[in-house]
């Protein structure tokens, strides 16, 4: 028997809630939106930094190492969703409100543009802070940071794009599931499994890369601004396709069209 106010929100209710939140996000004052976006970049960077340590000198085998690293990385989206911040990849779900003509194209692009720039600044700032703090020297985490960065920079554009699309499908599904929750514990549980999956599978998250690539370059990885852009551009485009199209678009067709 269902108990009102206790059971998870049904998918149709999730869609309604996400549209309402999308309208509110599109109306954020510029300073508020920018500051929340910088916070999101820092939060995702914290998750990426945690991941880097967890997969360093693991000795537990590839699969288990990726599983543990993915769980650690989940910290980033937990901070964003529970703590409150504006994450570009999660905000791809605002497309649902746009498709129902509840917000304008300009408002959608304003949110995405500001959140992306703010996320990038937050991730980059954390990369410098972590590098200058010296913690990468502990336990050979610097070698892991270099390895992760060089692997990302070596990805061909098509692979980077597809990994970006698959990544943000899971990220937006994590956010979608969090809207079914009625408690903080429920939100965290809803987030952990999709995020762990995308990290363990080796998919690409543009905002995480604004931390991971710079910190690896600072630690001595081969590459520079142009090679970083060669990763970030296709990954970002893939993130939009996977999140805005693969999740928001599909659920709008099913539950939207008001």
Q: Which residue bears the tokens 């690293």?
A: 69
Q: What global pTM score does this model have?
A: 0.94
Query: CA–CA separation, 57 vs 143, rounded Å?
Result: 10
DSSP one-letter code for 139: G
- Segments making up each domain of the chain, as ranges: 25-255
* Number of CB atoms found within 10 A of residue 149's CB: 26
**CATH number for the domain running over 25-255:** 1.20.1080.10
Q: Which residues contact 239 (CB under 8 A, 6 or more apart)?
A: 88, 89, 92, 164, 165, 167, 168, 171, 204, 205, 206
Quick check: 163 and 203 in contact, CB under 8 A?
A: yes
pLDDT (tens place) for every residue of the chain, 258 residues total: 344 567 889 999 999 999 999 999 999 999 999 999 999 999 999 999 999 999 997 677 788 999 999 999 999 999 999 999 999 999 999 999 999 999 999 999 999 999 999 999 999 999 999 999 999 887 789 999 999 999 999 999 999 999 999 999 999 999 999 999 999 999 999 999 999 999 999 999 999 999 999 999 999 999 999 999 999 999 999 999 999 999 999 999 999 765
230's tokens: 């060669």
Q: Which residues contact 156 (CB under 8 A, 6 or more apart)?
A: none
Q: Which residues contact 109 (CB under 8 A, 6 or more apart)?
A: none
pLDDT given for residue 2 in this prediction = 45
Query: CA–CA separation, 189 vs 98, rounded Å?
Result: 29
């Amino acid at each position: 028997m269902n108990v009102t106010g206790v059971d998870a929100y049904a998918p149709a209710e999730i869609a309604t809630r996400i549209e309402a939140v999308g309208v509110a996000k599109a109306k954020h004052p510029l300073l508020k939106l920018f500051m929340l976006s910088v916070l999101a970049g820092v939060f995702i960077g914290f998750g990426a930094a945690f991941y880097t340590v967890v997969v360093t000198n693991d000795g537990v085998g590839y699969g288990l190492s990726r599983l543990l690293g993915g769980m650690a990385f989940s910290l980033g989206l937990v901070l964003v969703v529970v703590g409150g911040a504006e994450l570009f990849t999660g905000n791809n779900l605002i497309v649902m409100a746009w498709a129902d003509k509840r917000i304008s194209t300009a408002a959608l692009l304003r949110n995405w543009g500001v959140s992306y720039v703010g996320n990038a600044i937050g991730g980059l700032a954390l990369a410098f802070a972590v590098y200058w703090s010296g913690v990468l020297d502990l336990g050979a985490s610097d070698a892991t940071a270099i390895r992760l960065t060089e692997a990302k920079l070596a990805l061909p554009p098509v692979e980077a794009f597809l990994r970006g699309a698959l990544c943000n499908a899971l990220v937006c599904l994590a956010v979608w599931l969090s809207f079914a929750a009625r408690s903080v514990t429920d939100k965290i549980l809803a987030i952990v499994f999709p995020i762990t999956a995308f990290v363990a599978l080796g998919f690409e998250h543009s905002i995480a890369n604004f931390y991971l690539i710079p910190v690896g370059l600072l630690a001595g990885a081969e590459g520079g601004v142009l090679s970083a852009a060669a990763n970030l551009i296709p990954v970002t485009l893939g993130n939009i396709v996977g999140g805005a199209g693969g999740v928001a678009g599909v659920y709008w067709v099913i539950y939207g069209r008001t």
